[in-house]
Structure 1
Amino acid sequence: MYRYHCLNPISQVGLEKFPGKYENTDKIDEADAILVRSADMHAMELPEKTTAVARAGAGVNNIPIDALGKKGVVVFNTPGANANGVKEMVLAGMLLASRDIVGGIEWLEKQEATEDLAKKAEKQKKQFAGCEISGKKLGIIGLGAIGVRVANAAVHLGMEVYGYDPFISVDAAWSLSRSIHHINDISCIYRECDYITIHVPLMDSTRNMIGAEEIAQMKDGVVLLNFARDLLVDEEALAKALQAGKVKKYVTDFANPIVAKAPNTLVTPHLGASTEESEDNCAVMAVKQLMDYLENGNIKNSVNYPNCDAGTCVDEGRLTINHKNIPNMISQFTKVLGDAGVNISNMTNKSKGDLAYTILDVATPISQEVAKNLKAISGVYRVRIVK
C-alpha cells in the first residue's frame, strides 16, 4: 500500500488515477509521497519515508528543491500541463491592452440607464477605440511549452513574431511555426517589438531581467506582458516608464503594491493557470509521474534529479539509489552487490548537477542488509527497494 498526502486541494480528476493500492492520508508522517500546489514547504520537515514531492504546476519556488535533493527526495513538476490556460490569458492580455475594453466597460457602468445612453456611448467610444494586434510585432522571451503556444497562436492572429530562447529544447523547436523569427540577440526584441511577453522561470539570472536599461531600448508605446513569474521585471523602473508614457500598458498576473498603484496597468489575480482544465491536467500528470516513480523507480520531469527511465522491471529485483554526482560511486555499488552475491542484470545511471540517480535491476531479490550497506556509502542519500 502506498500513501500520499495533499498539502493543497488537488483535482479529483487526477487523484482518481490512483489505483486501489494507493491511499490518501491526512497524516503527513505516513506519506510516501506528497502532492502540492501553492503551499510553502520551506519550513516543513518531511518524514524519512517520504520519497517524492509532486507539484501540480510548473513553478517550484514554494519547495526547497536543493534541500530535498540532499535527502533523496525527488521533486516533480508538470511542465506544459497548464500551457493552454496561460496562453489564452496572454492573448486576452494583448487584446485588453490594445483595445481599452476595460475602460469602456467601466465608463458604461458609471452611466445612468437613460434613453440617450446609446448616443452617449457613440460619442464616447473613440476614447476606448485602441488598435488592432494584427500586423504588429510580438516579441516572446522564452520558448518553452507556453511561449511556443503563444507564438503559434499569434502567427494565426496575423502578428509578426520574434522568439528568443538560447536554451530552446528540441521538442519546442519542432513545435514552433516556421513563420516565427528565432533570434539570438534579445536586444532585437526590445528595439523592434510592439508587444513583449516573458515566459522564463524565476532564477538569480532572470530576476529583474527587464529593468531601466532594457526598457530604454524599447519602442515608445510598447506593451509589456508578464504571466510567468513575479520579480522578472524591475517594477519600480517600469512604474516610471508607465508614468512617462514610454510603456503604454503593463499586463501582469502578479499583484503587488507597486503595480497596483502604477498607471496604465492591467493586473489579474494570478489567473494564468487557474482553469478547471489546467488544474485537471496538472493533477493527472503529477499523479502519473508519482506512480511511475513509486512503482518502477522511473523519473520524469524532476526539477532536482535527472530524468531516468528503466521501464518495468522484469528481473527478480530493482533498487534505486539517490546520490552525489561524484567519481567512484558506481564501483562502490557494484562491490557491495558483488560481495553479497547479487548479479546485476541491468543498470541505468544519470546525473544532473550535483545529484545523480542509479537504477539497478538484479537477478536475485535485494535484502534489507544489502540496502543498509549501500546506504552507508558516503555520498548516498537514499536507497529504495522497488521490487
Structure 2
Amino acid sequence: MKVVHFHNPGSPSLENELHLFAEKGIEYVRCMEPMTQEEQIRACEGADAVLTIVKPFPREVIEKLDSSVKCIVRIAMGYEIVDVEACSERGIYVCNIPDYAMEEVAVHQTALILACLRKVVYYDRKVREGAYDHVGYLEGYSARRIYVLSVGLLGFGRIAKNVARYMQSFGASVYAYDPLLPDEVFAEHGVTRVRTKEEIFRTCDIITPNIPLMESSYHIIDAEAIAHMKDGVIIVNTGRGALVDTEALLAGLQSGKVKAAGLDVHETEPFHDLDHPFMKMENVVLTPHIAFQTTESFEELQHKAVLYAIDGAMGKISAGAVNGGCVRP
C-alpha cells in the first residue's frame, strides 16, 4: 500500500506520525509544491490514499487519477479544494478533519469580536503613533457594553456552540440560525433559535458565519444581507473567505453601515495586497488564517489525518468521510 502526501512549506509535516504508516506496512511518499497538474497526476500513480492541505483536486485531475486511489484526505476542516462529486463518481472517498480545532477557532473568533468591540488593535496603533497625550484619550467609534448586544451565529455546529458559551459569559444575548438542528439543541445551550438567516441580519449587533463553504453558502453575507443589517453592525469571519462578499463588506465599512470587521480568512489568500483599502482601515482587524493554530491542535490534526489516510488506503470508510455512500465502480 502507498500514501502520497502533497506538502507545502509551513503546513503540517506529519513527521511525528509517520511511524503509523510504517507499522501498517504502508509506503509514504512526500511531494513538494509547486507542481503542475500533470506532475500531480503522475505522483498519484499506485497510491491507495492521498493527503493534501493546499493542492487542489479538481475534476480534471480526479478523472485522470490512477484507479488505485481509494481516498483523498484534506488536512483541514474544509474540503472545498476537492471536487467531491467527481470523486464520488469514481468511488473515491473524500475525508476532512472536521473536529480538530473546535476550541481554537471559537477562541479566535471571540477574540476578534472583543478586539472590534473594545478597539484593542485600534488603540494599540494610536499609542504607538504617540496619539495618547492625555488620560481618557478617546477616538473613533464608540465602544459598547457587551450585555446590551446580541450575537448572531449563522450555523450552530461545534465552533458556534463554543462561541455562544464564551459570549454568554460576557452577558451577550445569542441568536443562531441552523435549519438542520432540532429545537432542543438551541434550548440546551440557552440560545434563541431563529428560523431564517434574515432574522439574524435584522436582529443582531455582531454577526459571524460558522458554516462550510459550498454553492449555497457562497457570499451568504453580501450587499443585500448587509443592507438588512442594523446600522453599526460588526461582522467577523473565521470560516472561509468567500462566505463574505469582500466588495460588499468594503462598501458597508466605507458607508458606516458596518462599524467594524474582524477577518481571519479572505477571499484571496494569502492576503497581502498592501494597497487594499482594508489595510488602511483602523476599524478592520486582520489575521492570517490562523484561528485553528495551537500546539495541541496541530498535533491532533496530524494524528487524525494519518489515521484517516491509513483507513482510506485499506479501503475502510473513516470517521471523516464526507461522501461515505460512494461506491467504487
Tell me how far apart the structure 1 counterparts of residues 146 and 165 of structure 2 sit (CA, whole Å): 14
Residue 344 of structure 1 aligns with which residue? none
Tell me how far apart the structure 1 counterparts of residues 227 and 119 of structure 2 sit (CA, whole Å): 25
Residue 122 of structure 1 aligns with which residue? 135
Kept in 1: contact 2:3–2:27 (CA 8 A): yes
Cα drift, residue 164 of structure 1: 0.5
Residue 70 of structure 1 aligns with which residue? 89
Cα drift, residue 152 of structure 1: 2.1
Task: State yes or no: 1:82 paired with 2:104.
Answer: no
TM-score scaled to structure 2, two decimals? 0.81
Which SS does the other structure have where 1:288 is aligned? helix
Name the CA shift for 1:162/1:48 in 2 (closer, same or farther; >3 Å).
same
Name the CA shift for 1:90/1:84 in 2 (closer, same or farther; >3 Å).
same
Considering fraction of residues, name the structure with more strand.
1
Aligned with residue 50 of structure 2, among 10, 34, 52: 34
Tell me how far apart the structure 1 counterparts of residues 45 and 53 of structure 2 sit (CA, whole Å): 19
Tell me how far apart the structure 1 counterparts of residues 47 and 17 of structure 2 sit (CA, whole Å): 18
Task: State yes or no: 1:260 paired with 2:278.
Answer: yes
Residue 91 of structure 1 aligns with which residue? 110
Residue 26 of structure 2 aligns with which residue? 22
Structure index of larger Rg: 1
Tell me how far apart the structure 2 counterparts of residues 228 and 298 of structure 1 sit (CA, whole Å): 26
Task: State yes or no: 1:61 paired with 2:80.
Answer: yes
Name the CA shift for 1:6/1:294 in 2 (closer, same or farther; >3 Å).
closer
Give the residue type in structure 2 aligned to 1:60. Answer: Y
Residue 36 of structure 2 aligns with which residue? none
Kept in 1: contact 2:141–2:259 (CA 8 A): no
Kept in 1: contact 2:156–2:178 (CA 8 A): yes
Residue 306 of structure 2 aligns with which residue? 287
Name the CA shift for 1:210/1:289 in 2 (closer, same or farther; >3 Å).
same
Give the residue type in structure 2 aligned to 1:211. Answer: D
TM-score scaled to structure 1, two decimals? 0.70
Task: State yes or no: 1:11 paired with 2:14.
Answer: yes
Residue pairs, 1:1-387, within 5 angstroms: 2-8=1-7, 9-20=12-23, 21-26=25-30, 28-42=44-58, 44=61, 45-111=64-130, 120=133, 122-125=135-138, 130-168=143-181, 174=185, 177-255=188-266, 256=268, 260=278, 263=281, 264-295=283-314, 297-306=316-325, 356-357=326-327, 381=329
1:150-193 deviations in whole A, cap 9, x for unaligned?
122222222110010001389xx659743111221222211221
Name the CA shift for 1:25/1:175 in 2 (closer, same or farther; >3 Å).
farther
Cα drift, residue 292 of structure 1: 3.2
Kept in 2: contact 1:15–1:283 (CA 8 A): no
Kept in 1: contact 2:264–2:287 (CA 8 A): yes
Give the residue type in structure 1 aligned to 2:29. Answer: T
Which SS does the other structure have where 1:290 is aligned? helix
Higher relative contact order (CA 8 A, sep 6+): 2
Give the residue type in structure 2 aligned to 1:288. Answer: L
Tell me how far apart the structure 2 counterparts of residues 201 and 100 of structure 1 sit (CA, whole Å): 29
Kept in 1: contact 2:93–2:324 (CA 8 A): yes
Q: How many residues matched?
A: 301
Residue 325 of structure 1 aligns with which residue? none
RMSD of aligned C-alpha atoms?
Answer: 2.7
Kept in 2: contact 1:101–1:128 (CA 8 A): no
Cα drift, residue 199 of structure 1: 0.9
Kept in 1: contact 2:48–2:312 (CA 8 A): no
Q: Answer with 226-235 or 86-95: which moved more.
A: 226-235
1:24-74 deviations in whole A, cap 9, x for unaligned?
124543422111112223364433222111111111122122222222211
Name the CA shift for 1:68/1:185 in 2 (closer, same or farther; >3 Å).
closer
Residue 345 of structure 1 aligns with which residue? none
Kept in 1: contact 2:3–2:313 (CA 8 A): no
Which SS does the other structure have where 1:249 is aligned? strand
Tell me how far apart the structure 1 counterparts of residues 154 and 242 of structure 2 sit (CA, whole Å): 15
Name the CA shift for 1:262/1:203 in 2 (closer, same or farther; >3 Å).
farther
Unaligned runs of 5+ residues in structure 2 are 31-42
Name the CA shift for 1:281/1:134 in 2 (closer, same or farther; >3 Å).
farther
